[in-house]
Each structure stands twice: as structure tokens, then as C-alpha cells.
Structure 1
Amino acid sequence: MASDYQEIKQKTIGLKYAINGLIFAFKNEINMRVHILFTVSVIILGFVFRVSFTEWVLLFLTFGLVLSSEVFNTAVEMLLDYLAPEWHPKVGIIKDLTAGGVLVASGIALVIGSIIFIPKLLALFL
């Protein structure tokens, strides 16, 4: 029984750290706040346009992709700033690569959102 308690305690602590990381990213990264603003906006639009179950699944997958990418980008940037506080061209390239990953994820989200919402908007106006 004691091992069950330890396992639950460890999972709870791990969850606490994960939530702390998300809170840190939200408080300290403007891009994270922008992504969350877009996420909330798309969720509202989803209710307004009554998207289907499959469309919700696709939207939430893209939310997860973009927000996760932004968290990983933030982590890599902070790690590199800690390990190499002075400017180095390789550090700059690594930061550009992780930012590029966020850009790709955001671009995919834009395409998926357009596929879902443009026909609904056209039907509203035509």
C-alpha cells in the first residue's frame, strides 16, 4: 500500500511542476498569450458555427500542437540563454529552428482553421 501512495504522490508532484511550467510560459511569454488568445477565439467561433465532432477533434489537436511547440520553444530558449549567455551563432540558429517549429505548427493550425471555418463563413454570407 505504501508504494501506491508514493506513486500517487509522485504523479501529483509531476502534475504540479507541469502546471507551474504552463503558468510560467503564460506569464512570461507574449507569444504564449497570443496563442492562447487565438485558441480561445477559435473555441468561441467553434460554438458560434457549431462545428462537428470531427472538426473539434482537429481543432484541439492543432491547439495542442501549437501550444506544445511554444512551450518547447520557450524551454529551449531559456536553456540556451543559461548555457550560453554570450551571443553565439550556433545558439542563434538553434533558437531560430525552434521558433521555426512554432511557425510551422501555427501555419498548420491556420490551414486547418481555414478549411473548417471558411466554408461556414461563405455559407453565412452567400
Structure 2
Amino acid sequence: MARKTFLSSFGFAVEGIRHAMTTQRNMKVHGVTALLVILAAAVLGVGPMQWLFLLLAITLVLTAELFNTALEAVVDLVSLDIHPLAKAAKDTAAGAVFITAAFAVIVGVVIFYKPIVELFGG
């Protein structure tokens, strides 16, 4: 077995992110949404603490989606048939993504509500 270098581990991580971004529809949606949120935050001039919460929410959603993708791949590898435990594992991982995405929406509403209302003269 080839010895892995410290730097090669970064390459493996990037390859995993690339795989998820190119093969998983929801990862693409989350990625595009993250870019739009970052653009909106820059345009609306949100403060440093707000940036921190936005980036935390984005990181949590993308990380949950990566874990979900990894778990689905492992389940598909070991379970050729539809099995109740395989379904439970996949559904639970999807639930984790849902919870983090809901948190991200709440963060977005809290942060963007006032600047958007002010932008439209409210």
C-alpha cells in the first residue's frame, strides 16, 4: 500500500468535495445557494458577527450534505437490496441535512430581514 503524504490527504478531501458537487443534485443546490447568500451579504454590508453566523450555517449545511453523500455511498456498497436498516440510515442522514438547512434558513431570515426591509423602503 502506498504511503500517503500529509499534502495528499488534502487532495483526497478536495476530490471528495468535487465528487459530491458533480454528482449530488442537493449539493449543487446548497453550493449555489451559499454563493448567493455570500453575494447578498457582501452587497447588503452585513456586520462581522452576522458574517460569522452565515458562514457557520453554510459550513454546517455543506458538511452535513458531504456526510450524507458518504453514508449513502457506503450503504449502497454494502446493501444491494432495499433493507429497512439501509433506509433508516439514509433517511436519518437526510434528516441531519434537513435540520442544518432549516437552521441556515432561520439564520438567513434573522440576518437579512432588516436590510431587505430597509432596501425596499419599509
Give the TM-score band, short-chain normalised.
Answer: over 0.9
How many residue pairs match? The answer is: 119
CA distance in 2, matches of 1:11, 1:113: 36
What SS does structure 2 have at the residue aligned with 1:106?
Answer: helix
**Structure 2 counterparts to residues 33-112 of structure 1, below 5 A:** 33-112=28-107
TM-score normalized with structure 1 length: 0.91
Q: Alignment identity in percent?
A: 32
Q: CA RMSD in A?
A: 1.2
Match 1:119 to one of 110, 114, 121: 114
In structure 1, the gaps of 5 or more residues are: 1-5
Deviations 1:27-73 (A, max 9, x none): 10010000001000001100110010111111111111000000000
Cα deviation, residue 124, structure 1: 1.8
Q: Which has the larger radius of gyration?
A: 1
- Structure having the larger proportion of residues in helix: 1
TM-score normalized with structure 2 length: 0.94
Letter in 1 for 2:112: F
